[in-house]
Amino acid sequence: MSKDIKIKKGLDIKLVGEAEKSIAEAPKSRTYVIKPSDFHLVTPKMLYKEGASLKAGEPLFYAKKDESIKFVSPVSGTLTEIKRGAKRVITHLVIEADGKDTTVEFPTLDVNAANAEAIKARMLESGLWPFIKQRPYDIIANTETTPDAIFISGHNSAPLAPDYNFSLKGKEAYIQAAITALSKLTSGKIYLGVGKASDSVFANISEVEMHTVSGPHPCGNVGTQINKIAPINKGETVWTVAPENLAIIGELFLTGKFNPERVISVSGSGIKAPKYYKTKIGAEVSTFAYSAGIEGDNVRMISGNVLTGDQVNADGHLGYYHNEFAAIPEGDDYELFGWNKPVFNKISSSRALTFSWLFPNKKYDLDTNTNGEHRAFVVTGNYEEVFPLDIYPLQLLKACMVQDLDAMEALGMYEVAPEDFALTEFICVSKQPHQAIIRKGLDLMYAEIG
């Protein structure tokens, strides 16, 4: 069996402002924020009140549904504020750092000798569990189920994405420890998809089935790799873990400390000097954004990827799962005859007087304008060109919109996550919010079936 995954369907979105391969130390962040909304479908139960002082790695809250899943503070300091939104839902937990970095210490764990229970227990008590996501539903993994497989994508093909081979350099031992530990938690294999690179940090990783992936985005999406290697069937569960989180998991096993350090790419055409920054989960984005320089005053700041990330304000914070930050110009302006004039400076999947097909290697400076208004689905056949999964995207989206659970299940809803629909959303002529539609569909399924 060939171990190469080659996809043809997809689209590489090339943007200006790719991060230069040098790491800068971000200025120390004064506050850190954990947003429970990062943990989809988790209702937080607080362990501390406002004013409590915390160590780094100390649990802040647990999940209402499963008390064993704990969420920890990334730094030591004081829990200064619990911000609440509508219906008193907790939106932000603000921790003011004391700069001492006192950390909760666990005994180290020999991952080769430890059994599954010990590993699981350590992951739960130390707050590592939220790094494990499961499919179906794309939520934090259920602690009760044993996954049929674990998938890790070691290749990020998204626009402006950080290069793992650069950002995770030196963390190979941690990644290996995490993989060894995780391999005991699954009844199947761990699959690792890697890109074609000579300096791969994953080159010497063992205890995995390695697949080389190539092709346009979304070849690096873990969902694409799952679909090509071993698609999820009804009743099966697989876990997915991002490589940067493997490093944190492994480090805790080897050193006993929860180290929320992230090497993130700070990129996009709204950044003056795009490069990599060393920072921590939940840090103020202004620490690195203004260190790298923001171009103009009308930019969209995004914690995460330009296709899937969250919009943040200048006083916002890095999301729990994010390892990149992007800034692109806001497109809140009108464009004269933008709908019929020939276009050279924007990306298009058609050739309707749009000329991006002529310049496959050109880098574009895209803004956040939708380039048109929201419409009903009209055009057909275009999503399939950028959607490599063996699923009918339009039909699945429509099934989600009409909340037809049987159709969703039959059409492959168990296999997908919102991020798999980022590209179809990007090219959508009718400007429909595909990722939100899929998220809603998954939530409905989880509530009704899961």
Partner 1 sequence: MGLKEKLHGIKEDFKGKKMAPAFNALHTFLYTPNETTHNGAHIRAVDDLKRTMNTVIMALIPVLIWGIFNAGYQHYAAVDAANGIVREASLFGNFFTWDNFTMGAITVLPLVIVSYGVGLLVEFIFAVIKGHEVEEGYLVTGMLVPLIVPVDIPLWMLAVAIVFGVVIGKEVFGGTGMNILNPALTIRAFLFFAYPTWMSGDKVWVHGAKEAVGTPDAISGETILGSYAQNSSVVYDFADKFFGFIPGSVGETSTFLILLGGLFLMFTKIASWRIILSAIVGAAVMGLIFNGVADAGWITESSKFYGLMSTPYWEHLIIGGIAFGIVYMATDPVSGSQTNTGKYWYGFLIGFFSIMIRVFNPAYPEGVFLAILLMNVFAPTIDHYVVQANVKKRMKRLKLKTA
Smaller CB distance to partner 1: residue 30 or 234? 234
Smaller CB distance to partner 1: residue 376 or 447? 376
Q: How far is the CB of 319 from partner 1 (least distance, A)?
A: 11
Query: Whole-angstrom Cα distance, residue 83 to residue 379?
Result: 43
Smaller CB distance to partner 1: residue 75 or 400? 400
Smaller CB distance to partner 1: residue 255 or 368? 368
Q: How far is the CB of 441 from partner 1 (least distance, A)?
A: 14
Q: How far is the CB of 40 from partner 1 (least distance, A)?
A: 13
Smaller CB distance to partner 1: residue 5 or 168? 5
Encoding tokens for residue 281?
Answer: 């989960």
Q: How far is the CB of 411 from partner 1 (least distance, A)?
A: 7
Query: Whole-angstrom Cα distance, residue 53 to residue 100?
Result: 12
Q: How far is the CB of 235 from partner 1 (least distance, A)?
A: 8
β-strands 77-84, 53-54 pairing: antiparallel
Query: Whole-angstrom Cα distance, residue 223 to residue 240?
Result: 9
* Surface-to-core class of residue 115, CB atoms within 10 Å of its CB (0-12 exposed, 13-18 middle, 19+ buried): exposed
Q: How far is the CB of 251 from partner 1 (least distance, A)?
A: 31
Smaller CB distance to partner 1: residue 65 or 234? 234
Do residues 325 and 318 make contact, with C-beta atoms less than 8 angstroms apart?
yes
- Classify residue 156 as left (phi > 0), alpha (psi -120 to 50) or beta: beta
Smaller CB distance to partner 1: residue 315 or 390? 390
Encoding tokens for residue 81?
Answer: 């504020």
Q: How far is the CB of 205 from partner 1 (least distance, A)?
A: 27
Specify the amino acid at residue 86: A
Show contacts of 353-357: CB within 8 Å, 24+ apart.
Answer: none
- Classify residue 188 as left (phi > 0), alpha (psi -120 to 50) or beta: beta
Smaller CB distance to partner 1: residue 113 or 378? 378
Do residues 300 and 311 make contact, with C-beta atoms less than 8 angstroms apart?
yes
For residue 416, give the nearest of 232, 264, 258 by alpha carbon: 232
Q: How far is the CB of 197 from partner 1 (least distance, A)?
A: 26
Q: How far is the CB of 334 from partner 1 (least distance, A)?
A: 4
Do residues 252 and 129 make contact, with C-beta atoms less than 8 angstroms apart?
no
Q: How far is the CB of 255 from partner 1 (least distance, A)?
A: 35
Smaller CB distance to partner 1: residue 95 or 389? 389
Smaller CB distance to partner 1: residue 132 or 299? 299
Q: How far is the CB of 233 from partner 1 (least distance, A)?
A: 4
Q: Which residues, other chains included, contact 87 with Cβ-Cβ below 8 Å and sequence gap of 6+?
A: none
Q: 3-state DSSP call for residue 344? A: coil
Query: Whole-angstrom Cα distance, residue 400 to residue 406?
Result: 10
Peptide bond into 388 cis (omega under 30): no
Query: Whole-angstrom Cα distance, residue 169 to residue 219?
Result: 22
Query: Whole-angstrom Cα distance, residue 410 to residue 403?
Result: 13
Query: Whole-angstrom Cα distance, residue 387 to residue 420?
Result: 8
Alpha-carbon distance values, 441 to 279, 407, 427 (Å): 34, 11, 21
Smaller CB distance to partner 1: residue 142 or 395? 395
Angle, helix 172-183 to helix 116-125, in steps of 10 degrees:
120
* Beta-carbon count within 10 A of 311 CB: 11
